[in-house]
Structure formats: structure tokens, C-alpha cells
Amino acid sequence: MEAYLLDWANLLLRWLHVIAGIAWIGASFYFVMLDLSLRKPTRSGDEKRGVFGELWAVHGGGVYHSEKFLAGPLDQPLPEHLHWSKWEAYTTWLSGMGLLAIVYWVGANTYLIDAGVMALTLTQAVAISVASIVISWFIYDVLCRLLVDRENLLALALFIYIVLLDWLLFHIFSARAAYLHVGAIMGSIMVGNVFFHIIPGQKKMLAEIRAGQTPDPIYGIVGKQRSVHNTYFTLPVLFAMISNHYPMTYSHPQGWLVLIGIMLAGVLIRQFFVLRHTGRQLWWLVGLALALMLTLMVWLRPVSPQASVQSSGQSIDIGQVMSIIEQRCVPCHASTPTRPGFAQPPKGIVLETADQLRRQASLVAQTVSNRYMPLGNLTAMTEQERMIIAAWYATQSAGENRP
């Protein structure tokens, strides 16, 4: 029953996380577009009213007119009712932390710890997980304060830190958990920017405007800096959040480098759209991102199973394979799993008989070869056993395709 309730908690939190994330990213992308698309006011007197820039847009069967005031309107009091974009960010982070807790902390022995990478106790693994998020925020915040006027150097420092963090986590946690944690850390930095800098700065700015004072420009400077960071973090974080569906990336021996490559592609794509909002369309940025992804596709291409057969020089029968499957896979992939934490077989796949294995042969061979399964290598499947399964499947495939 406990595993069943955790599945429901996972479902509901994940649903909330996706909904809130869509709202946060949508609002963030919209305001970045709005800010970069502003044009100088065209009507006489608008600048005297305090209008910094304006945008005319069409959507939903109507025409919209947006104006930006750096210090509020000069010809009327600032309205009491203002829209705030903050709860989308907070809800996304809180639901994400909830998912991290029930999947990777409660299920640390399954999803977080890989004894083949580092032998950790549950307490050690969870403590490192929490510390990596908290410490990373402080490192990021200090770097931003120290390099507030040196954006290019700051960008380089942040990139180097993310690379080092990625490499380090890849050598502490399971590869799947390492990817997720890089995304969780960057997402936490994003919401930290909103909670500790953007919203407090806006509140102080509004208080000064309502008091008839000229607001301190530092609030806008810091808020803009942190908002820019958030927009470039968005696409890399999105990939990290869905990466568990693509074991071909994190299961590679140099998976940490794969993550950096995909994140860089995301930054290039975001840069293209940021510049496009200003009227510049640098298609070479898209081309570079695609070239980077194509390079990764070539680098990660799987070795032909047939090559495994030829290199092994052995004849594999179903009995050998079932012996491995029963020991390494059936604890989870059974009608009634015996592995703690599993109320039902993952994705409904049962591998208790040879016929069941044959029906899932392609999927089993693929997930075993790319090290996606067993999860976290909980059952300690050896490389030799993986080769035997790949060799058996290659023999099966060759027999089916033989005329």
C-alpha cells in the first residue's frame, strides 16, 4: 500500500509541477519578449507621462497596447491592483522539491545511489543531494554580487561551475540522478532569483514610487540581471527534467559531457529567440545548435548487437539468458515484485517466463545494453551478462531476418 500511495503522490506532484512550470516559463518568456520588443513611444506627451517604451500586439481577436514605466506613471498615482508573476515560480519549485523527495530521497536506494559509482548510505546520499542545492545557490549568488558589472566574466564563471558540478555529481550519484540534480540546482537558482532578488526589489521600488520618491535604479539592474540568467537557464533545465526518458544520454561513460553539450544547444536556441525579439535573426545560432546535437547523435550511436555476437565468439541459448533475467530483472519485473518500493512491475513488463522475455526481447536488449536497466544497477548486473543478453538478441534478430 505504501508504494501505491507513493505512486499517487508522484502522479499528482508531477502533474502540478508540469502545470506550474508551463505557467512560469510562459510568463517568463512572454515578459522577455515584451521587454525586448518595446519601441520608443510615438504619441506626443507619452515620454512626459514616464513611458519608457511601448508595444502594440494582436492576439485573441483583439489589439493590445502595452507600456513600460521605469518609475511608474508621472501623471497619475500608481494603481493598487498590480499583477505579480511569482506564484508560478514558487509552485514549480515546491512541487519539484516534492518530487525530488518522494522519488530520489525516499527511493534513494533505487534511484539516487549507484554502488558501482560510489557506495553511499541513504543518509549520506540525501545529505549530499540537499547540500548540493543549497551550496550552489550561495556560490551563484556570491559570483553575481562580485561580478555584477562584468557579465561576460560572470557567464564564464557560471559555465565553469555548472561543468564542474555536472562532472562531480556524475561521479557521486547514479547517472540518471546526476542529470536530475543539475537541473534541480539550476531550477533552484532560478526560483532563488525570484524570491530573494526580483520580487523584493520590485516591492522596494513600488514603495518608493508610492512615497513620491525616484526609485533606486539598483533594483531594476539586479532584477534584470537575474531575469536574464533565468531565461538562459530555462531550456537546459527543461532537458534535465525529462532526461530520465533518454538513457542513451546519461548512460554513456562520459554522460556528464553529453549533458553539457545538450545544455549548450539549449542556450544557443534561447539566444536565437532573445535576439529575434530585438529584430535580429542569427540563424547560424540555430545551425550551431543543430550541429552540436548531430555531433552528439553520432558520438552516442550504439554498437551493433551483431558485433557483440562476433566479438564474444559464443553461442547463447535462452536458458543462459533466463538465468540472468531471473537474478537481475525479475525482482522488479514480476507479477508481484519482491523488490521493496515496487507495487507493480515497471511499465507493466513481466519477465518471469521465456515467452514473456521473447515478446520484450528488443526492449530488454536495448535497455540492458545502454545501462538504463536495472535501475541504478541495483541487482549488480555485470558487463559480461549485458553482452550475453545483447548477443542472444542479435542471434534472435538474425534468425528472424534470415530468408
- The whole-angstrom distance between residue 295's C-alpha and the CA centroid of its chain comes to 21
Look at residue 80 and tell me whether its pLDDT is greater than 80. yes
70/65 Cα distance (integer angstroms): 17
- Give the three-class secondary structure for 234: helix
How confident is residue 389, by pLDDT bands cut at 50, 70 and 90?
A: confident
Grid coordinates representing 91?
Answer: 509552485
Q: How confident is the model at residue 98, as a pLDDT? A: 96
Q: How confident is the model at residue 1, as a pLDDT? A: 63
Look at residue 395 and tell me whether its pLDDT is greater than 70. yes
**β-pair partners for 64:** 57
How confident is residue 390, by pLDDT bands cut at 50, 70 and 90?
A: confident
pLDDT mean across residues, the chain:
90
Average pLDDT estimate for 318-340: 89
Q: How confident is the model at residue 125, as a pLDDT? A: 97
**β-pair partners for 39:** 54
331/378 Cα distance (integer angstroms): 10
How confident is residue 128, by pLDDT bands cut at 50, 70 and 90?
A: very high
User: Which residue, among 101, 264, 95, has the nearest Cα to 191 in the 3D structure?
Assistant: 95
212/342 Cα distance (integer angstroms): 62
Grid coordinates representing 217?
Answer: 535604479
Q: Which amino acid is at 194?
A: V
Tell me the per-residue pLDDT of 229-254, one tens digit each, with 9 for 90 and over: 999 999 999 999 999 888 889 988 89
Q: How confident is the model at residue 71, as a pLDDT? A: 85
Q: How confident is the model at residue 233, as a pLDDT? A: 97
- Give the three-class secondary structure for 64: strand
Query: By percentage, how much of the chain surpasses pLDDT 70?
Result: 94
Residue 225 contacts by C-beta under 8 Å, 6 or more apart in sequence?
144, 148, 151
- Give the three-class secondary structure for 165: helix
Tell me the per-residue pLDDT of 35-71, one tens digit each, with 9 for 90 and over: 999 999 989 889 889 999 999 999 989 999 999 998 8
104/179 Cα distance (integer angstroms): 12
